[in-house]
């Protein structure tokens, strides 16, 4: 590794100094993050405020990544003032975003996907930003493969250093009896959070090394691995899919869903091979391999058509979901990539990861993002379905919604019920509060038209837990004994009413099992409250002989029947 060439203490200190001089903001943020994590570990994870705890970890980690990317971009600017202003403005914007996210105790799906896509874009920007105005991809390829080596070597050194120090510290216990267990969490924090990134940053090419326009020699080992292992494996993959496509045409049956995953894997494999063999595209001695890789994008297009048919079938049969729309956009992007590679004869590759990052960011962040579009579309479809049957006043109560399911067209009712269940599961219960009340139960229809009916049924689950309940409950008046119940057995279900036995093994109990009754809505209402609030009032069941304060429950429903019931809690007996 270049960082340790001509290793000496003085040179190493100077290299660390140059790294700090080049990436001061990133180094300071990583230092803060390391110290904060050490303090947090020392306090056993306790912090004054969970929200600020998130901020003090999230912002330094992502801010350091952003700082490196911005430095790689702006260090090539001719005007220093423009470089400084660019870095300050972007950092201020990201600081504002991080502070905005701090106010939420939990992320919605839209926020989670948006943040994830933004972080992925930041990672890709390390490789891409400083080459967006180049008319030649050779410097980009040289820089990218050097940066990959820097990332992997920095991680490897961090892991080896962690293992070595852990073994040394453990030896102090083995040899001298020193109690050093409390030191272990600090070691990976320092090595992996601070030292490994610092080593990586120290190896990132700069100056003339950052823009080398001559392709470095391609090693025979790498060439052999690609030509005789990766390429045959990809061709075998693609041949299998072509055979499957021929089977579809012969039997005239639409493709199944997993075709999308196989075609996507083939597409990514093709992109990887074209990227890693980029120097061979400029080597006149590899004409056969160049022709083979040059026509790979053309061979991929019929498989992309197969993928499009599979996606279209899913959308037509079961409607839109976030995952299906992401796959659809990926499919369209694959067409563009294949056509672009054919036009450029595989000699321009920078735009492939750059377009992926741009598309991922655009479809994941903002009101036009796929999660937001999906939510609005599903809610509009439910509104339209209710309006088509003469319903004008919303939200519907649980009883009104049940009557609508029974009176509406079977397929329409099943479709809307499934969409409302999807919205509640992935977007939270607040997303459907304008359509149905909190007492409405969704997802209980036998959905023959759903995708689950053709694969494995997926139960609807409701649960809640108050794990600290045991420490705060006192024996109520009229009861003499308290014991913990961790096993129940469902005995009977009649509509909304459930009967189950709580099994106890305690001499003070009047019986080895006690029968309790509850309604399904009681459990569902606690689940609704759990999604709206962090804590809820515990469910208390009293049969006159004993009282059960429910600490945790999990109710799984398959169609309209309870498939499993799990309840733990505190049992009070007289």
Same domain, 305 and 441: no
Residue 277 has pLDDT above 90, yes or no: no
Range of the domain at 499: 461-573
Q: CA of 244: how far to CAs of 261, 315, 534, 535, in Å?
A: 14, 21, 50, 52
User: Does position 463 have pLDDT exceeding 60, yes or no?
Assistant: no
186 and 281 share one domain = no
Per-residue pLDDT of 499-554, as tens digits, reads 888 876 554 444 457 888 888 777 777 766 655 454 456 778 888 788 888 877 77
pLDDT at 207: 85
How far is it, in rounded angstroms, from Cα 63 to Cα 308? 38
Tell me how long the chain is: 574
Dig out the tokens for 568 from the structure. 């733990």
Final residue of a structural domain among 169, 194, 211 = 211
Same-domain check for residues 362 and 258: yes
346 shares its domain with 385: no
- Whether the CB-CB separation of 449 and 415 falls below 8 Å is answered with yes
Task: Please tell me whether residues 190 and 41 are part of one structural domain.
Answer: yes
DSSP state for residue 547 in the 8-state scheme: E
Three-state DSSP class for 105?
coil
- Using the predicted structure, report yes or no on whether residue 431 has a pLDDT greater than 80: yes
pLDDT in tens, 13-54: 788 889 999 999 999 999 999 999 998 888 876 665 667 888
Answer yes or no: do 358 and 399 share one domain.
Answer: no
The pLDDT assigned to 557 comes to: 67
Strand order in the sheet with 497-503: 488-494, 497-503, 513-519
Nearest to 569 by CA among 543, 538, 544, 542: 538
**Distance from C-alpha of 357 to C-alpha of 122, rounded to nearest angstrom:** 9
**C-alpha–C-alpha distance, residues 481 and 573, integer Å:** 5
Does residue 34 sit in the same domain as residue 183?
A: yes
Do residues 318 and 394 both lie within one domain?
A: no
Distance from C-alpha of 436 to C-alpha of 442, rounded to nearest angstrom: 9
Is 378 in the same domain as 362? Answer: no
DSSP state of 475: P
Write down which residue in 458, 484, 508 finishes a domain.
458
Mean pLDDT is highest, among 396-400, 533-537, 566-570, for 396-400
Residues near 361 by beta carbon (within 8 Å), at least 6 away in sequence: 117, 118, 121
Model pLDDT, residue 544: 78
| Judgement on whether residues 336 and 229 belong to the same structural domain of the protein | yes
C-alpha pair distances (Å), 85 with each of 81, 132, 365, 454? 6, 19, 24, 57
Q: Where among 350, 366, 382 does a domain terminate?
A: 366
150-157 mean pLDDT: 93
Which whole number is the average pLDDT over 107-119?
90
Q: Which tokens is 102 given?
A: 């701090």
Task: Evaluate if residue 563 carries a pLDDT over 50.
Answer: yes
What confidence tier does 128 reach under pLDDT thresholds 50, 70, 90?
very high
Return d(Cα 427, Cα 521) in angstroms, integer. Answer: 21
Quote the number of domains for the chain: 4
Looking at the fold, whether 197 and 235 belong to one and the same domain comes out as no
Same domain, 94 and 228: no
% of residues, the chain, pLDDT over 90:
34
Residue 131 clears pLDDT 90, i.e. is over it: no
| Cβ neighbours of 495 (radius 10 Å) | 8
């Amino acid at each position: 590794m270049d960082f340790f060439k001509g290793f000496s203490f003085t040179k190493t200190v100077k290299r660390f100094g140059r790294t700090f001089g080049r990436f001061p903001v990133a180094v300071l943020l990583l230092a803060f993050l390391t110290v904060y994590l050490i303090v947090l570990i020392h306090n056993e994870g306790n912090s004054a405020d969970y929200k600020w705890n998130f901020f003090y970890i999230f912002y330094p980690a992502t801010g350091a990544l952003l700082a490196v990317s911005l430095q790689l971009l702006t260090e090539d600017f001719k005007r220093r003032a423009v470089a400084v202003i660019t870095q300050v403005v972007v950092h201020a914007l990201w600081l504002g975003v991080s502070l905005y996210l701090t106010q939420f105790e939990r992320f919605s799906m839209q926020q989670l996907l948006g943040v994830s896509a933004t972080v992925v874009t930041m990672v890709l920007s390390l490789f891409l930003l400083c080459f967006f105005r180049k008319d030649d991809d050779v410097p980009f390829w040289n820089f990218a493969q050097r940066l990959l080596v820097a990332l992997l070597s920095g991680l490897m050194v961090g892991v080896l250093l962690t293992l070595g120090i852990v073994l040394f510290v453990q030896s102090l216990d083995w040899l001298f009896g020193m109690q050093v267990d409390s030191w272990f969490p600090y070691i990976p924090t320092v090595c992996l959070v601070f030292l490994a990134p610092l080593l990586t940053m120290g190896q990132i090419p700069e100056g003339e090394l950052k823009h080398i326009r001559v392709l470095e020699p391609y090693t025979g080992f790498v060439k052999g691995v690609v030509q005789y292992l990766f390429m045959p494996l990809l061709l075998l993959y693609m041949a299998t899919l072509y055979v499957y496509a021929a089977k579809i045409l012969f039997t005239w049956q639409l493709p199944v869903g997993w075709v999308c995953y196989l075609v996507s894997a083939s597409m990514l494999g093709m992109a990887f091979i074209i990227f890693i063999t980029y120097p061979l595209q400029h080597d006149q001695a590899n004409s056969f391999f160049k022709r083979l890789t040059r026509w790979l994008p053309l061979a991929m297009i019929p498989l992309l058509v197969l993928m499009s048919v599979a996606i279209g079938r899913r959308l037509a049969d079961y409607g839109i979901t976030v995952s299906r729309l992401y796959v659809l956009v990926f499919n369209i992007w694959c067409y563009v990539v294949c056509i672009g590679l054919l036009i450029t004869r595989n000699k321009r590759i920078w735009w492939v990861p750059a377009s992926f990052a741009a598309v991922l960011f655009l479809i994941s962040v903002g009101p036009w993002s796929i999660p937001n579009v999906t939510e609005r579309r599903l809610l509009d479809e439910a509104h339209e379905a209710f309006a088509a049957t003469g319903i004008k006043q919303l939200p519907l109560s649980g009883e009104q919604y049940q009557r609508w399911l029974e009176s509406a067209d079977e397929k329409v009712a099943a479709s809307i019920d499934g969409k409302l269940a999807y919205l509640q599961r992935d977007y939270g219960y607040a997303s459907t509060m304008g359509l149905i009340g909190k007492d409405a139960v969704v997802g209980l229809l036998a959905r023959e038209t759903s995708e689950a009916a053709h694969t494995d049924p997926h139960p609807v689950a409701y649960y809640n837990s108050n794990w600290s309940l045991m420490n705060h409950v006192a024996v109520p008046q009229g009861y003499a004994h308290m014991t913990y119940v961790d096993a129940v057995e469902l005995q009977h279900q009649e509509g909304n009413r459930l009967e189950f036995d709580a099994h106890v093994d305690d001499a003070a109990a009047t019986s080895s099992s006690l029968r309790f009754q509850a309604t399904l809505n009681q459990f569902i209402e606690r689940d609704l409250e759990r999604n709206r609030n962090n804590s809820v009032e515990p469910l208390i069941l009293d049969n006159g002989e004993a009282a059960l304060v429910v600490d945790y429950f999990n109710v799984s429903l398959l169609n309209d029947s309870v498939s499993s019931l799990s309840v733990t809690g505190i049992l009070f007996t007289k």
